[in-house]
Amino acid sequence: MQSVQPPFWHPAASDAVIFDWDGVLAETKLDFSPVFQRFFGGKRVLLLEALPTLEPDRRDELENALLNLEIQGAREATPVPGARECIAYVEELGLP
């Protein structure tokens, strides 16, 4: 691969690429407000960090609520402008 010096980065200079999903490849417009309301009385918390603080049954309920929210968001997601072209370019380079 070619040598690229910071602050410049280009996919062609990589051995692989990992993409984040929400906001990078797609816009999901996820709204966690109902989850905060249902499980934490409306208080905004770090959800994954809060999981271990819940009773097992409540933790399972929260995990299921998050899973359902994420799946619904994925179903309704729209591509971020340029995402498809970026993925096509990475595939063209043969990068995993």
The per-residue pLDDT for range 23-37, each reduced to its tens digit, is: 889 999 899 999 999
Q: What is the dihedral of CA 61, 64, 32, 37, to 10 degrees?
A: -20
Structure tokens at 48: 């994954």
**pTM score over 0.85:** no
- Sequence-distant (6+) residues with CB within 8 A of 42 are 33, 36
Task: Give the percent of the chain with pLDDT over 90.
Answer: 66
Per-residue pLDDT tens for 1-28? 556 566 677 767 778 888 888 888 999 9
- Position 2 scores a pLDDT of 55
